[in-house]
Amino acid sequence: MISKVIPIKGSLLISEPFMTDPNFKRSVVLLTEHNAEGTVGYILNHQSDFILKDLIPDCWDADFQVYLGGPVAPDTLHFIHQSPDKIPGGQDLGNGLFWGGDFESLKIQINNYNIKEDEIRFFIGYSGWSEAQLDDELSTNSWIVSNKYNIEMVFEENENHLWKEAILNMGVKYAHITNFPEDPSLN
């Protein structure tokens, strides 16, 4: 099942159903950068044990869930959002999504209760691929690339549902994948 869609910034990577890497098992990754030097993205459906106020004490009332963006640099904090009018300086990913922005403005908006959880997602760490590494993984069918999705999927609260929703959104050609067991030996 080779994905014919070429990854670009703003694409979703959907892991194949039998991926065994625990970092990416049944994951959906939003790509924020893809070029000849490599690829960067964030896993949308792996929650961490943290909420934002655990990591940023001066955001004292921020109960925003923080997600595991990937295994690279787990001591860093990143965010994507759909509020460029409230958080200037973010990189436009298309589809109404933005990556990063002015962090001081963000903290002010959070502390003034002007940002809602369905507008922003925080990540510790990120997913990274070196030059041609993602292309190699795509050639072995480790990922399905999707450029067709609605923005609500990116901020989906039910992390277990997102992988299935992303595949179903690709159409009937892919729908049967959602029924594959996580462990094929149990079939």
pLDDT in tens, 42-76: 999 999 999 999 999 999 999 999 999 999 999 99
Q: Evaluate whether residue 33 is within a structural domain.
A: yes
What is the model's pLDDT at position 187?
Answer: 55
Alpha carbon separation from 9 to 6, 41, 97, 110, 146 (Å, rounded): 10, 9, 10, 26, 11
- Which position has the token pair 């959906």? 28
Q: Evaluate whether residue 76 is within a structural domain.
A: yes
What is the model's pLDDT at position 148?
Answer: 83
Pairing of strands 120-130, 65-68: parallel
Contacts of 102 (CB under 8 A, 6+ apart): 87, 88, 89
What is the model's pLDDT at position 43?
Answer: 98
Q: Evaluate whether residue 69 is within a structural domain.
A: yes
Query: How confident is the chain (187 residues) per 10-residue block, as mean pLDDT?
Result: 74 92 94 94 96 95 96 97 97 96 96 95 97 92 91 85 90 81 61
Q: What is the domain-level CATH number for residue 130?
A: 3.40.1740.10
Q: How many domains does the chain have?
A: 1
Domain containing 83 equals 12-186
Q: Evaluate whether residue 59 is within a structural domain.
A: yes
Through-space distance between the first and last CA atoms of the chain, rounded to whole angstroms: 20
What is the model's pLDDT at position 119?
Answer: 95
The length of the chain is: 187
pTM (predicted TM-score)? 0.92
What is the model's pLDDT at position 79?
Answer: 98
What is the model's pLDDT at position 1?
Answer: 46
Torsion of CA 109, 113, 32, 52, to 10 degrees: 110
What is the model's pLDDT at position 68?
Answer: 97
Q: Evaluate whether residue 148 is within a structural domain.
A: yes
What is the model's pLDDT at position 138?
Answer: 93
Q: Evaluate whether residue 2 is within a structural domain.
A: no
Q: Evaluate whether residue 160 is within a structural domain.
A: yes
